Amino acid sequence: MSETVNPTLPIIRTVAVDKSFGSVEALRSVSLEIEQGKFFTLVGPSGCGKTTLLRVMAGFEQPTRGQVFIDGKSMEGVPANKRPTNMVFQSYAVFPHMNVGENIAYGLRSKKTPADRIATLVAEALEMVGLAGYQNRPSHALSGGQRQRVALARALVLKPKVLLLDEPLSALDKKLREQMQSELRNLQRNVGITFVLVTHDQEEALTMSDQIAVIFGGEIAQVASPEILYRRPNSREVADFVGVMNFLNVSVLSEHGTRRRVEVEGLGIVEIEEDQAPRGLVGDIVAGVRPEQFTILFEDRASADRCCSGTVTEIQYFGDMTYYAAKLEGCDKTVTISMRNTAGRRTLGPGDKADIGWRSESVLILS
């Protein structure tokens, strides 16, 4: 199926999709374009509507209003079994009364693929997910990670235009989850099929995706690449959801063309470029600084362009990183600072005074 894809069109386009369940609005005017061949992630807190959006794409839910186009064709009235999408379910949905080979052959049988062709395709699919030779394994004898791979192979063997993944990694333990994250990423690059992943884990979204859509309360908050999303979140909510952000009170001093001067609590007067304030300086604004944009200056103060002082109140040691909570001098704010534990660097303890370095381009103005 995938060879007929038109590369210039977005593979999935949703136009003002609303979805209500009774009086509950799960999706509100969701318009998205997903590019062909990309790893696209829908991320948001639980109950934000991301799974509903995925199910609307798969055809398990019909939008209340709005339209979904897949590969340029309207999906209105097209049932799930006629759509060029396949899904990996959160519970994996491996058929318990069939062995691994039968599970993977399921969709091929549905399409009346000849038996010898099925055998080859199943073997290839199993090899692709690292389960070569598992054809006759009964499905109840599989571990969580293996179930996941069977579910993946079962969907990919049909060569869908889009693979939809509904929180596929949430049931795995941390080590296996991290391994599967990179495997999924590599698999997506190798097969070139568009992946749409749903997750509540923002870290997972950042490490795996080409593009991320952040969803809050049924609405798209921001669509961006992982780097942009992290460095330039467009709202306070997004900044808070993706990674850790220190929020400091801010007041506007002057605004002349592109030169904006603001006073940030604990940091002093800062000059802001236009892209550091994506929504301007109006309304209820706040300054945000990421923990790694602060540096505790152990010896030379010259390496940072701005500097302030603080007192360490708490430390959290992660092995490779140390997270400090430090109370800034001259105000009541405590900020989080992350430091890499590079060779020879000591760690501070609670009560220690610290010089904290930062740069003016690290400050974001959010509303």
Partner 1 sequence: MASSFRRSINPEAVSGLALISPTFLYALVLLAAPIAAVILLSFWTQDYLELHRTFTLANYVKAWTEPVYQALMIRSVKISLLVTAFTVLIGFPIAYYIAFIVPPRRKPIWLFLITIPFWTSYLVRIFLWKVILGYNGVINGSLIGIGLIEEPLKFILYNQGAVVLTLCHAWLPFAILPIYVALDKIDRSLLEAAEDLGDSPFRRFIRITLPLAMPGIMAATIIVFIPTIGDYVTPRLVGGPNGLMIANMIEVQFKKANNAPLGAALALSAMFIVTVISLIFLWANRKYLRANQ
Q: Which residues of this protein are in contact with partner 1, per CB under 8 A?
A: 58, 60, 79-81, 85-87, 89-91, 93, 95-99, 102, 106-107, 110-111, 154-155, 158
Separation between Cα atoms, residue 102 and residue 225, nearest integer Å: 38
Cα 26 → chain centroid: 19
Closest separation between CB of residue 115 and partner 1, Å? Answer: 14
Tell me whether residue 271 is exposed, middle or buried, using C-beta atoms within 10 angstroms of its C-beta: 0 to 12, 13 to 18, 19 or more.
middle
Give the single-character DSSP code of 277: -
Tell me whether residue 96 is exposed, middle or buried, using C-beta atoms within 10 angstroms of its C-beta: 0 to 12, 13 to 18, 19 or more.
exposed
Q: Are 104 and 150 in contact (CB under 8 A)?
A: yes
Distances (CA, A) of 118 to 80, 96, 146, 182: 22, 20, 21, 28
Q: Nearer Cβ to partner 1, position 81 or 258?
A: 81
Q: Nearer Cβ to partner 1, position 119 or 315?
A: 119
Separation between Cα atoms, residue 314 and residue 92, nearest integer Å: 42
Give the single-character DSSP code of 30: E
Structure tokens at 36: 């062909």
Phi, psi of 174 (to 5 degrees): -55, -50
Closest separation between CB of residue 223 and partner 1, Å? Answer: 26
Give the single-character DSSP code of 3: G
Q: Nearer Cβ to partner 1, position 149 or 154?
A: 154
Q: Nearer Cβ to partner 1, position 98 or 128?
A: 98
Q: Nearer Cβ to partner 1, position 135 or 367?
A: 135
Closest separation between CB of residue 78 and partner 1, Å? Answer: 12
Closest separation between CB of residue 154 and partner 1, Å? Answer: 7
Q: Nearer Cβ to partner 1, position 169 or 264?
A: 169
Separation between Cα atoms, residue 149 and residue 119, nearest integer Å: 18
Q: Nearer Cβ to partner 1, position 126 or 220?
A: 126
Separation between Cα atoms, residue 246 and residue 341, nearest integer Å: 21
Closest separation between CB of residue 58 and partner 1, Å? Answer: 6
Q: Nearer Cβ to partner 1, position 48 or 87?
A: 87
Closest separation between CB of residue 89 and partner 1, Å? Answer: 5
Q: Nearer Cβ to partner 1, position 111 or 301?
A: 111
Q: Nearer Cβ to partner 1, position 93 or 304?
A: 93
Closest separation between CB of residue 147 and partner 1, Å? Answer: 12
Burial state string for 321-332 with b = 16 or more CB within 10 A and e = fewer than 16 = ebebbbbbeeee
Separation between Cα atoms, residue 315 and residue 326, nearest integer Å: 9
The one-letter code for the residue type at 148 is: Q
Cα 74 → chain centroid: 27
Q: Are 92 and 129 in contact (CB under 8 A)?
A: no
Closest separation between CB of residue 96 and partner 1, Å? Answer: 7
Closest separation between CB of residue 145 and partner 1, Å? Answer: 18
Separation between Cα atoms, residue 171 and residue 119, nearest integer Å: 30
Closest separation between CB of residue 92 and partner 1, Å? Answer: 8
